[in-house]
Amino acid sequence: MKNFFALLLCLTFLTPLFAQHHHHHGEEPHFCHQVEETEKYFESLSPSEQAEFKANEDALRQFRDHFIANHPELLQSNGNRSISYTIPVVFHIIHAGGPENISNEQVEDCIRILNNDFQKLNNDANNVNSAFLPIVADVEIQFKLARRDPSGNCTNGITRTFSNLTFGASGQQRVSLVQQNHGNWPGDRYLNVFVAADIGGAAGYTFLPNFSGMGNGIHVLHNYVGGIGTANFQTSRTMTHEVGHWLDLPHTWGPTNNPGLQSNCDSDDGIADTPNTIGWTTCNVNGESCGSLDNVENYMEYSFCAKMFTNGQKARMHAALNSAVGGRNNVVSASNLQATGVFDPDILCRADFDANNRVVCPGQSITFSDLSFHAPNGWTWNFPGGSPSSSSDQNPTVTYNTPGTYAVTLTATDGTGSDTQTKSGFITVLPEGATLPFLEGFETYATLADSPWSVNNPGNNAAFEITNNAAHTGEKSVRLANFGQSAGNTDELISAPVDLSSITDNVTLTFRYAYRRRSNANNEWLRVLISNNCGNLWATRMNRGGNNLGTLISTNSWTPSSKEDWVTVHVTNITSQFWVNDLRVMFRFESDGGNNFFLDDINIYSGGPSELSISEEINLTEFNVFPNPADKEVNVQFHLSNDQHADVQLVNMLGQTLDSFPIQGKSGENLVLISTENYRAGVYLVRVSTGDSQQVRQIVIK
């Protein structure tokens, strides 16, 4: 595809990202996702929109060439200290209560670094290779956090949205989430920065100035914002790199997606004073890849020693800020600077706060963070249901002992004025852990809102709900109406606490699900996670997707009609560290445009024979073990003709039973998950016994 689209999605500092980033489904990190994301964006545009996009690029190119030709002074270093442009910035932090909920101080540190780098105030500006010292640019741009929102209300330039969309959502999902919670922040009035825990395998990405919507902002990992908090010095220049893209700068090696290719010498970035280069991922300041000295220390390189822009890059950025294409000229206009309040004085205008957790179990503590602005120096907190019930600390810690839902109130003052903020239903304290055996068939609830189960629907699409149109047992089950929904949604159903503190041997989680694919192309996933600290941290105990989740297809909206439509899953790897009094279970479904999903008969019980009355007439068929070889877990699949006891065993080649998992086998398909992480690599046997019958399969553990 031609490189007429402007998406630049970049992993700007290779070594830290490889060490820290979490990848899904075996993904490997990349320098840039330009090709993949450009193709996605291309497919989303209508023919007329594609034509408009290319016309904008042509118009920007023509304006840029004319502007630079008429401002030759920008290509010379004059040594004057001045500010030509001010850019209002707003950070949209999307978080799930984890480290991605970075502090105000970390955001402010990012602004400090941007101002230093774009004004040649960085301490290392004069340490570049001496050949490039004459063209190190003071870009004469400053960045300020916005102080007024689009409606003219006061803001500190930071919005915070609690959502699991922080983990790997699409850029448009992040934009839509912020719009739903905080309104629209136009891209021709603000530089929007979207901060998350996972943005799909890169450190940061943005668009060149070909359009001005809110989506034409910067998306960045939380640990690449500033140089303090979750970030560090090596990751601190990512935002400088991305703002360069936002201001129309390509990579120094030109329009290709990959640095290090000799063919990059045949193209360039269109800027006269940045030498042709293949592109670098190391800091070889004396490298000559295309017949001349490379500007490895340029912010638009992938090296980790970036410390300069050139005068040519400065001229190109100034051109972008004077062009109507993309609306950058309006961002820096005097009227917009007044409307966004970047020069407003430091007086208190709003009390605000957040918490490190909003859903806890009895006896757990919550730390509250004052987010009031600007310059508060006094705080009065009220915590109904909490201990203490009030505080004058700026960031107090409160313990909640009684189940219920509670408001929190903060009054902040700067000594002259004050403001009060009350957030109703802000804290939820869950009930005490349910005792074993835990049985849930959803029969006694009209809706999930009436139940102890929590629903998380970050995409604001179809959510888990109770239905009386299908069930394996009784009259009701839980349905996710996935048919007709867009791909890429994540929906979660989360239990209230369950008390496993009485377990001394083993424990099993069983449940039934029913599912059909809409087409062979669907790759949808069901994940089961558990938490031993009331939901603060989660551990995955089952991943089932694609053909393993279901092979049958229905091109219409599907509902199970018989017991044979249901699969029974037995999760046995709930190990002793989870035998606590506040275990929680999460069912997470990740969609790919497939069909409906149903869940029923959730059961947690102590291991060993049950008291069910079970026929000993045996019929064990369709026995399978996968994957083989196994890495972290093995799936044992078999079909039973009726409900009966089953014993799944892992046996070594000497015939010794290493582990045994007694289950309450159910009529139809059964799936038992066994963790293999604690066993040495080698050949083993998996044996399933039901009464007088048994099946054996050989398995290799890697």
Between CA 184 and CA 190, with CA 187 as vertex, the angle to 5 degrees is 90
Q: Which amino acid is at 393?
A: D
Helix (H, G, I), strand (E, B), or coil: what is residue 664?
strand
Whether the CB-CB separation of 290 and 265 falls below 8 Å is answered with yes
Q: Output the DSSP codes for 388-418.
A: SSEE-SSS-EEEE-S-EEEEEEEEEE-SS-E
**Residue from 547, 476, 480 nearest 517 by CA:** 547
- What CA–CA distance (Å, rounded) separates 87 from 647? 66
Q: How far is CA 367 from the centre of its chain?
A: 23
* Enclosing H/E stretch for 242: helix 238-246
3-state secondary structure 521-550: CCCCEEEEEEECCCCCCCEEEEEEEHHHCC
């101002």: which residue's tokens? 115
User: Are 570 and 544 within 8 A, CB to CB?
Assistant: no
- Give the separation between CA 515 and CA 595, rounded to whole angstroms: 7
CA distances in angstroms from 340 to 91, 187, 225, 318, 666, listed in the order given: 14, 13, 22, 21, 63
- The secondary element (H helix, E strand) that includes residue 91 is strand 85-95
DSSP secondary structure letter of residue 92:
E
Place of tokens 């004059």: 78
- Sort strands 633-640 and 620-626 into parallel, antiparallel or unpaired: antiparallel
State the virtual CA torsion across 99, 103, 108, 114 in degrees, nearest 10: 10
Q: What is the pairing mode between strands 191-196 and 218-221?
A: parallel
Query: Are the C-beta atoms of residues 76 and 273 closer than 8 Å to each other?
Result: no
Q: Which residues are catalytic?
A: 242
653 within 8 A of 684, measured Cβ to Cβ:
yes
Longest dimension (CA), the chain: 93
Assess contact for 93 and 230: CB atoms under 8 A.
no
What distance in Å separates the CA atoms of residue 456 and residue 163, rounded to the nearest whole number? 8
CA distance linking residue 456 with residue 9, whole number of Å? 29
> Distance (Å, rounded) from C-alpha 551 to C-alpha 549?
7
Spatial separation of the C-alpha atoms in residues 13 and 238, rounded to whole Å? 7
